[in-house]
Every structure is written in C-alpha cells, then in structure tokens.
Amino acid sequence: MFKHFLKPARVSAVFLLSCLAASIACASEKTSYPDAAASDPAKMGWMVGAPPPPDRIVRFADGSYFQFPAMRWSVSNFRQLMPTTNVSRGLGAPVPLARALRTDIDGLTFVPLGSKQPMTWEQSLAANYTDGIVVLHRGKIIYERYFGVLNPEGQHGAMSMTKSVVGTMGAMLVADGTLDANKKIAEYVPELAKSAFGNATLRQVLDMTTGLKYSEDYADPNAEVWKHAQAGNPLPKPKDYTGPQSYMEYLQTVEPEGEHGEAFAYKTVNTDVLGWVIARATGRNVAQLLSEKIWQRIGAEQSAYFTVDSIGTPFAGGGLNTGLRDMARFGEMIRNNGQYLGQQIVPKAVVDDIRGGGDKAAFAKAGYDLLKGASYRDMWWVTHNADGAFMARGVYGQRTYIDPKAEMVIVRYASNPIASNSANDPVTIPAFEALAKQLISHPD
C-alpha cells in the first residue's frame, strides 16, 4: 500500500495514526495488487514456524507489518506487534447471538457504482478483501463468514470505526450532564488553551467542524500527520528527536486554520481530543470507560483492546480491536435505540441525535462524491437515505452499517490494500443497500 511512496522508517511511525482517515492520498489506487485469494494471509504463511522463515516474519519496528500483503496478517494480530490496553468484558457469561442463517444472500446481485456489470454478494467479499463479515437481522445472525487468519475467536483492528464508539461515549456524557457540548475544549483541558482546539466547542469536535492546520497527506513528508505519528509511536524515540513524546503532547501543538463550525473536515486529532476530554471529565480513559459503560453490558464474547502510545494513552482515533460478533452486538444495541439485553445502555436521546445527523451543508464542503447528501454527527456517518442508514467507517474496508428500516446490522472487517474507503465504496454501498432491500421485501 504506502510502501510505494513512503520510506520504511516513516511507515513504522505512521500506523497508529494511519488507522484513521476516511479521506487519504489515493495515489496507490493506480497500483495493481494481488487479489484476495493470492494475498490470503493464511496461505502465505506469515509468522508460521519456530521461528518463521525470514521472508515471512512481520515486525512493527521495521514497518513490515504495514506493507501489503503482510498487512493482511497484521490487522488480525496487532496485540502481537505493539503495546495495548484491555477493554474488559467482565466476568459474566457471554450471551450468545441467536442464529437463523439464510441461504439466499451469497447469490444476491447488484451493480457496483460506475459499472454496468452485475456482481454477486459473494463476489463482493473477495473484491473488498474481506476478513470477516456478519449480518444481523432483527438481532439474529443470518450470515457469517471468515477468511484468511481471522476466525470467531480472533480480534481485528476496527481502525476508524473506533471514532464512532468513542463519539458515542462522548455523546453519552453530554446526555447525562457530565459534559456540555457548547463548552470550549479549554474549559475541560486547559493544556489545550493555546492550541487550535482551545476555543473550539465540544460539539465542533464531536462533529469534526474544527478549523485546524493539519494535513493527512501521506505523500507529503512535511505533513502534520508525520509529527502526530512520531509522537504516538510507542517505541523509543531516536536520540536526536525533540518533538512531542505522546498523543497528548502533540495535540497541544496543533495550530488553527480557518474558522471553527464552517465546514466538515475529517481529522483524527479531533477524536484524540475527545478522548482526552473524556478522561479528564470522568477520571477514566476511553478503554476503561468503554468496558464499564458498554462492553460489560452487551454480553460480549471477548474482551477488546486498544493500541496505546508510549505513556499508555489509548489511541481514541483508531486503536480499538474487537471480535467480529462483539462489534455486531454494539451495532445491534445502537439499532435498538440503545437498548440491549433488557438494559438501556446508551440513552435513546443519544441514538436519536446520531440518526438525525449533522450539518449537511458543512459536510458537502468536504467533497465526498459517493456520499452526497450525507452528514457527520457524534463521529458517525449518516447517509440520510430512504432507510435512514448510518455507519461507522474505517480505513482498509472496516464498516459497521446500521439500516433501521431493514432491521439490519452489517459488520465487516477487511484488509483492502488501499486505505481510502473511496476504493471500496463503489462495491460496498450498493451491496449493503441491495441486502437491505432484500430483507425489507423478504424478511423471513
């Protein structure tokens, strides 16, 4: 993926930040990659053997874990590569998801955007380098597949779907009065008073309408993304390094550009700031709060985990890793207006706020051609389509798609060689919409 235009040293530094952007440099889209079958990490034998052959070893320090096709192994094994912190599921027994598998899904056909050639649902899985996918309908598993090295017992990087989870927790704290969406960030984190975030409101951070001098252009060696990445790298810094030593230190250096509140601009540092605000307001970091407020209450099968920086700060912008079914449980809870297993886990008002969406005009200024008419609210992507669908999105093809009208939740984990969702959206969007239509017309 980025190996075509990034130096190895920088590749190693970038990952904790690269699990972030929905809008990323797309130069690599012109590159030809091995297909899903040819790049299958199980068949390629990454990290198999005692020790593995030299050409099948994947390391964090040298950046090899971030290069395609080795990346297809890495996304299901981050805990083996870097420091992490746990999101405990608690000590109670998991609550199984009911199953009612359907046989009419693999053959479902649709036409990808910009194409005239029909594709089947099953073909779309390979086209998007799917590692695992589960579909819930009315709370029951109707479809579940795993590929490569991911299995039901495994965990996978959620990438920027993490933002929607953290955004939900932020919105919960607004709903219960712990946070005030109209207050300035500096009122919660005085250390950010002199940064671009100081005079931004919490609402502007939640909806990413902050005016920041921050480029995520990976092709530009001088882009701010590299400084953020270096600060968040958990490995020891070079002896001559004099920059920020952690995510929190870096956030204090972000400068303003433009006006807050005028336009949507997807920048991961907003979620890092939200994570800091949450920690300061509650005394618990995002991993601890996620465990307490949600993970211990949804009957999760597995504990989740976050990647962390050198001082143990969870990467709020993209560091969450979960089991596939557990992310589906989270999505189903949101679909059910925050209710799950007889509990009101997330206030209904929070889900209503998310589903209502954000400022469409502000979102339109960002130029997402395949998401026209959409908006962004509480770090969720809201389509405003006829079904009222909304979603969490992450680079390399991660998706949690909630369609209220179809009573459907889809969670897909993937390892697409191209980071930007613009590479998989032409297949993903019509595939998910076609399945929703099928479930509406043939619910049983």
Q: Where are the domains of the chain?
A: 2-84, 109-171+285-441, 175-271
Which residues are registered as beta bridge partners of 408? 137, 403
CA distance 236 to 239: 9
Question: H or E element: which one contains 132?
Answer: strand 130-137
pLDDT at 226: 80
Q: Which two tokens stand for residue 127?
A: 């086209």
Determine the distance from the C-alpha atom of residue 327 to the mean position of all C-alpha atoms in its chain, rounded to a whole number: 11
In the predicted model, what is the mean pLDDT of residues 168-187?
Answer: 99
pLDDT at 23: 33
Confidence of residue 5 (pLDDT cuts 50, 70, 90): very low
Q: Which two tokens stand for residue 215?
A: 């480029």
pLDDT at 218: 62
Assess whether pLDDT exceeds 90 at residue 68. Answer: yes
pLDDT at 165: 99
High-pLDDT (> 70) share of the chain, %: 93
In this structure, how many other beta carbons lie within 10 angstroms of the beta carbon of residue 219? 14
In the predicted model, what is the mean pLDDT of residues 344-353?
Answer: 99
Decide: helix, strand or coil at residue 377: strand
Is residue 268 within 8 A of residue 160, CB to CB? The reply is yes
Assess whether pLDDT exceeds 60 at residue 18. Answer: no
Assess whether pLDDT exceeds 70 at residue 360. Answer: yes
CA distance 214 to 44: 38
Dihedrals φ, ψ of 390, to 5°? -145, 165
Residue predicted with more confidence, 397 or 227: 397
The CATH architecture assigned to 175-271 reads Up-down Bundle (1.20)
Q: 58-93 burial, b if ≥16 CB within 10 A, otherwise e? A: bebeebbbbbbbbbbbbbbbbeebbebbebbbeeee
Determine the distance from the C-alpha atom of residue 72 to the mean position of all C-alpha atoms in its chain, rounded to a whole number: 16
Assess whether pLDDT exceeds 80 at residue 133. Answer: yes
pLDDT at 126: 98
pLDDT at 304: 99
16-20, 95-99, 252-256: least confidently modelled range = 16-20
Q: 5-25 burial, b if ≥16 CB within 10 A, otherwise e? A: ebeeebbbbbbbbbbbbbbbb
In the predicted model, what is the mean pLDDT of residues 177-185?
Answer: 99
In the predicted model, what is the mean pLDDT of residues 122-143?
Answer: 99
Token look-up 């595939």 returns: 431
In the predicted model, what is the mean pLDDT of residues 70-86?
Answer: 98
Amino acid identity for residue 406 in this structure: A
Assess whether pLDDT exceeds 70 at residue 399. Answer: yes
Residue of 177, 169, 171, 248 lying closest to 203 (CA atoms): 171
Confidence of residue 219 (pLDDT cuts 50, 70, 90): low
Contacts 24+ apart (CB under 8 A), 358-361: 358/207, 358/209, 358/264, 358/382, 359/207, 359/209, 359/264, 360/384
CA distance 190 to 204: 17
What CATH number should be reported for the domain whose range is 109-171+285-441?
3.40.710.10
In the predicted model, what is the mean pLDDT of residues 284-312?
Answer: 99
Determine the distance from the C-alpha atom of residue 196 to the mean position of all C-alpha atoms in its chain, rounded to a whole number: 24
CA distance 212 to 197: 8
Shared fold status for 109-171+285-441 and 175-271:
no
Confidence of residue 1 (pLDDT cuts 50, 70, 90): very low
In this structure, how many other beta carbons lie within 10 angstroms of the beta carbon of residue 442? 9
State the chain's mean pLDDT as an integer: 93
